[in-house]
Structure 1
């Protein structure tokens, strides 16, 4: 059985698109040519890969299986190309990262700025994802590495802890909780919260904790970043739960009070997830070394 790499890449484009036409466009093919290639691939595998209707295409169970393997194959091909670019160094290549909210909005931009400034030939695709999607993405090869916070259930992956942060409560000066040294999550639910946008890992995590208690998280407004949350809290709009590293930084310029959360999950290990560290190209390993300089 022979697989054409161009066909596998085309199938990935189609599998990640809502329609065959859009997948074909990403592969720089006409819809007719793309359809013919997919039909030939189905004939070779003797199985149906796509359900086709007027609304677009949907992967069959066999299609989902092929998509997983195709991603892994093409990822290894990309790794091979990167390894032999400028003799396998770390000065060129493409890195795809799935990361949680804190990583995307807080520390990764600064790390990547220095990393990319030293490597003009490197490009990065950074996407904010939920924890379960980060794990799944590393497992199925749709991302080179994942960055996650909190407990990790990732059988079959290498998990490398590289730092620790805590979730804390921030309130405006003069708030009735401001004199408390620590509070539980339940004690904060009597007040309106300022939260992150739907789909963010932190908001999803907090909602899960609240639902386990049979309570409701009252959100007054949802924002796209921690600085915006801090500004709303400072103005007295509500209270917020954010990483301690972010609270500490913004407290230098805003009138905020930080209170410890008396919860076992408040301390969160940051971890890098990969399938196999030694199999990664030099560019990705160099970024991981930048994130873990002392390890």
Structure 2
């Protein structure tokens, strides 16, 4: 068979998306080019691999077999590449960790720094994604491990709580809801908001929750940092939603008030998430143990 790594990546992208169009976009290919390559893959295999429907595609039995072996090949290829890079550069490689916004900004810096300081030859690349995006990347074999909120489903993956991180409603002093002990998101979804920048993983998650209850947030201004959100809310520009740890850090400086959100999706705990402990790299296992994944629970 003449299939190469690019062919396997394209096929898996289409299989995971259930759509040639979406898979082509993920593989950065034009639809026509992707369709032609898929036909060539099927011709090379000598059998149909995809069943084409009006609204997408599904795998044939042969396609499912290819998908299984393709994931193994890509995993082995990634392991080989990492080992060769370590020899070529005299380094231990590069660790890719996927995490949601809250983990990247308020949890990982203080936890990751001492661990990384002890490993001067290890490089770490942090990838900011929403928790559902991290789960999809792990399920598809595109990521080794990640830090997510336990508010999202992670069927088939292992999750281990590493920190409490609920979201709170940030209000200016004197706001009519400032005396509330808790708030439902529906009670404040029509308020004027100070939001995080477009494309921010947490902001995307919040705006998805708003759409789920039939609202579109009235955003007066978007800030690049949590500190910026807290400052704006403290000056009465609008209300905001931030992790509780962030609200506590900036409470004195901004005078913004934090009221817990009662919604289930806001009662977040940060979890280390991965598919199979035995398939994690040595460096990733070490990091997860450092973050608090208990040895007796990891298997």
Q: Same fold (TM over 0.5)?
A: yes
Match of 1:8 in 2: 5
Is the 8 Å Cα contact of residues 97 and 127 (structure 2) preserved in structure 1?
Answer: yes
1:188 aligns with 2:198: no
Give 1:48 shift: 9.8
TM-score by length of 2: 0.72
TM-score by length of 1: 0.73
Q: Secondary structure at the match of 2:254?
A: coil
Match of 1:105 in 2: 105
Give 1:100 shift: 1.1
Match of 2:265 in 1: 265
Q: Secondary structure at the match of 1:183?
A: coil
Is the 8 Å Cα contact of residues 97 and 144 (structure 1) preserved in structure 2?
Answer: yes
Distance 2:238 2:230 in 1: 10
Number of residue pairs the alignment of both structures matches: 266
Match of 2:140 in 1: 140
Is the 8 Å Cα contact of residues 151 and 264 (structure 2) preserved in structure 1?
Answer: no
Match of 2:20 in 1: none
Match of 1:74 in 2: 74
Q: Secondary structure at the match of 1:265?
A: helix
| RMSD, matched Cα | 3.7
Is the 8 Å Cα contact of residues 193 and 218 (structure 1) preserved in structure 2?
Answer: yes
Listed as ranges, the gaps of 5+ residues in structure 1 are 21-37, 50-59
Distance 2:288 2:165 in 1: 18
> How has the CA–CA distance of structure 1 residues 293 and 151 changed in structure 2, closer, same or farther, with 3 Å as cutoff?
closer
Give 1:61 shift: 7.6
> How has the CA–CA distance of structure 1 residues 124 and 11 changed in structure 2, closer, same or farther, with 3 Å as cutoff?
farther
Distance 1:130 1:69 in 2: 28
Is the 8 Å Cα contact of residues 79 and 280 (structure 1) preserved in structure 2?
Answer: no
Distance 1:96 1:73 in 2: 19
1:119 aligns with 2:155: no
Q: Secondary structure at the match of 2:165?
A: strand
Distance 1:117 1:255 in 2: 35
Is the 8 Å Cα contact of residues 72 and 140 (structure 1) preserved in structure 2?
Answer: no
Q: Secondary structure at the match of 1:182?
A: coil
Distance 2:216 2:258 in 1: 23
- Select between 185-194 and 10-19 the one with higher mean Cα deviation: 10-19
Q: Secondary structure at the match of 2:215?
A: coil
Is the 8 Å Cα contact of residues 156 and 275 (structure 2) preserved in structure 1?
Answer: yes
Distance 1:193 1:69 in 2: 48
Q: Which has the higher contact order (CA 8 A, sep 6+)?
A: 1
In terms of fraction of residues, the more helix-rich structure is 2
Alignment of 1:1-295 (within 5 A): 7-8=4-5, 12=9, 18-19=28-29, 44-46=44-46, 70=70, 72-79=72-79, 92-292=92-292
